[in-house]
Amino acid sequence: MTDLLSPTGLSSTGLSTAGSSSAGAGPDDGGGADAVDVAALGELLLGKWANVRREARLLAGRPEVHKVEGQTHTEHRQRAFGQLQFLVEHNAVHRAFPRRLGGSDDHGGNVAGFQELVTADPSLQIKAGVQWGLFGSAVMHLGSAEHQDKWLPGIMSLAVPGCFAMTEIGHGSDVASIATTATFDPSKDEFILDTPFRAAWKEYIGNAAVDGLAAVVFAQLVTKGVNHGVHAFYVELRDPVTREFLPGVGGEDDGVKGGLNGIDNGRLHFDSVRLPRTNLLNRYGDVDSAGTYSSPIASPGRRFFTMLGTLVQGRVSLDGAAVAASKVALKIAIQYASERRQFQASSDTEEEVLLDYQRHQRRLLPRLATTYAASFAHEQLLEKFDDVFSGTRNTEADRQDLETLAAALKSLSTWHALDTLQECREACGGAGFMVENRFTSLRSDLDVYATFEGDNTVLLQLVAKRLLADYAKEFQNVDFGVLARFAFGQAADLTLNKSGLRQVAQFVADTGSVQKSVLALRDEDGQRALLSERVQSMVAEVGGSLKAAARLPQAQAAALFNEHQHELIETAQAHAELLQWEAFTEALHGIDDAGTKKVLTWLRDLFGLTLIEKHLSWYLMNGRLSMQRGRTVGGYINRLLAKLRPHAVDLVDAFGYGPEHLRATIASGIEKERQDEAAAYYRKQRASSDGPVDEKVLLLKQKAANRRGSRSMPS
């Protein structure tokens, strides 16, 4: 097995071209050869928790945790559950838990290591996430020290496999409206847990169908006739010996799904299940024996969001796992594209390498650029997460920033992973469709990432509402003069952009020169201005459209928001894209090696200009770009692709995934062997007088002979 603890962390395929490639010198790249320091770049990508990632990759490379393709869902479930014990035995899942119970209080390291499990088997990763990242974390973050001491040891050791029962059939992302109730009975000092109708059944619950012995169940807490909103309760589900449901608890198996079939998802329902009062996880809300409710957070709304905020690590984990899956897909596809040959375009004897075709570069390299941006953004998210959960920076503003950042980045990275897996699959042709090459299996398993731990569209709406709230705060308690200056600035902006004056100014600045247009777009400050101005303009526009909502009746306000929902989502997505671009740019400033920095700058530019090209209609319609500059975007992207082409394999080698993580035949070097064998065969054939003659060659010779004969005949 590859020694991933070696300084380079390179693939053991022997296919790395580190230091051997040189950029195609373009008119504006300064000339000369530029090489990527693959080892140093790999270290940068490993980030703050590099050692944890190395350890996790060593474990993920073990065959004991790999997915076995073709198993039935029953077999896959049994294997995945056994693999959980393997993780326990190798101390892979306890980093975030308290030191007094055998953990290490390392929240960032825990997520960094956890996300690497996606390369082994996404089912294993998510099943582990259910057990320790959701079930265990809910007890740890929502319960008291007594709850932790009582229940966490069994959860950590897997003696008590468990569930995280939040989602209901009738309420997915709208957690505040779940219908399950926990009503306090002071005469027995117990809560009575009920799912009053079918739509209140807990649905899609991992470990519910077979393995779960207990669950953290979310329900509306009712005491003394008052509903205090959603709270979490520790509930025993099954007899640990017979594995049968306990009285009042029922459930069903969800059966075969579109992916992640190593997880036994199921439904749960409760009929007057009695729970001791002390089973309420009471960090943010408690009930005494008389039924009196108390909470350290007076506002019901803020209390609800604080409780849910403690569980944000699921979104952080999915963001990182989606980035890791994108890296694996691109390593496989780009390695294959650097070896696979197809069609004789520039030679009569040699076929073209796929990656030399511009269209193939267009398919893969912009997605590679986006993956780098998402990777750097995830590292910032992970550091923010660790700051909050370690208590280093844990103010209300810090928690809100974390929740907003996690929602924004999880949405973009999970959509990007699905898009990348599909494009890589197609780019590898029929070979990409074979299960042995991972794309189809990974895509089916990651499909649900876009909708669990928060549907991406709903999450982006939350991000947009945060942007609008921040926008509104800027104008609280300001005097008339400030508002007047802002209004004047908006008017000036409209005059400049809508009238075409900005376009005229750009045209004059460019003096009709394509080269000057390119330089303006390539400039870091120019890209930042275009991306940030788009976000600011969109926030201001939708904010202006919705400013009347606060004064309208509820139904009319809701209708007004609905009219602008699409703009809200677009605004949030633009904000998330800007965050990724800024993270990439910040990472560039920390690179010392000149060659690596130059190549990564090209890659960052490719990411930025791909975003501008994607939204080019907005920039043109809103007067942010002249037609002159708009026309140069695609051309400069093509030039960047040509310059990045020689470095493509280096850039994916820097991800540090070896064959034990890729497990794809087409990325094993076998294609190069086949192509070399074929080339040697044809060379030998051409050198031999015994080889067959191509019919087209004979026809050309015949035509030439006919022409010579016609010229020699007397007139």
432/418 Cα distance (integer angstroms) = 14
508/518 Cα distance (integer angstroms) = 14
**Host H or E run for residue 127:** helix 122-128
User: How many helical (H) and strand (E) elements, i.e. helices and strands, does the chain have?
Assistant: 27, 13
366/609 Cα distance (integer angstroms) = 9
| DSSP conformational letter for 692 | P
- Bridge partners (DSSP) listed for residue 193: 182, 273
Spatial neighbors of 363 by CB under 8 A, at least 6 apart, are 423, 426, 427
Amino acid at 387: D
Tokens representing 330 are 């691109």
- Yes or no: say if 271 and 196 are a contact pair by the CB < 8 Å rule: no
Amino acid at 507: F
End-to-end CA separation in angstroms for the chain: 79
Residues present in the chain in total: 715
230/295 Cα distance (integer angstroms) = 13
- Yes or no: say if 284 and 295 are a contact pair by the CB < 8 Å rule: yes
Tokens representing 467 are 């942007």
Q: Closest Cα partner for 55 from 13, 99, 22, 87?
A: 87
| DSSP conformational letter for 23 | -
Amino acid at 703: K
- Integer angstrom CA distances of residue 98 from 139, 153, 284: 12, 10, 19
Which residue, chain included where needed, has tokens 């209708």?
559
Rg of the chain over Cα atoms, rounded to whole angstroms, equals 29
**Host H or E run for residue 267:** strand 266-270
- Yes or no: say if 194 and 272 are a contact pair by the CB < 8 Å rule: yes
269/537 Cα distance (integer angstroms) = 48
Q: Closest Cα partner for 33 from 654, 580, 599, 547?
A: 599
Q: What is the sign, positive or negative, of the torsion defined by CA atoms of 448, 453, 458, 464?
A: negative
For 182-197, letters b (16+ CB in 10 Å) and e give bbbeeeeebbbbbbee
Which residue, chain included where needed, has tokens 């024996």?
289
Q: Which of the following is catalytic: 339, 453, 577, 660?
A: 453
Alpha helix segments (H runs only) across 669-714: 670-687, 695-712
Specify burial of residue 589 (Cβ count, 10 A radius: 0-12, 13-18, 19+). exposed
317/386 Cα distance (integer angstroms) = 12
Phi/psi at 215 (nearest 5 deg)? -150, 150
Is 453 catalytic? The answer is: yes
- Yes or no: say if 618 and 534 are a contact pair by the CB < 8 Å rule: yes
| DSSP conformational letter for 693 | P
- Yes or no: say if 139 and 234 are a contact pair by the CB < 8 Å rule: yes
CA 56 to chain centre: 19
CB atoms within 10 A of CB 510: 19
- Yes or no: say if 213 and 160 are a contact pair by the CB < 8 Å rule: yes
Catalytic residue numbers, as ranges: 453
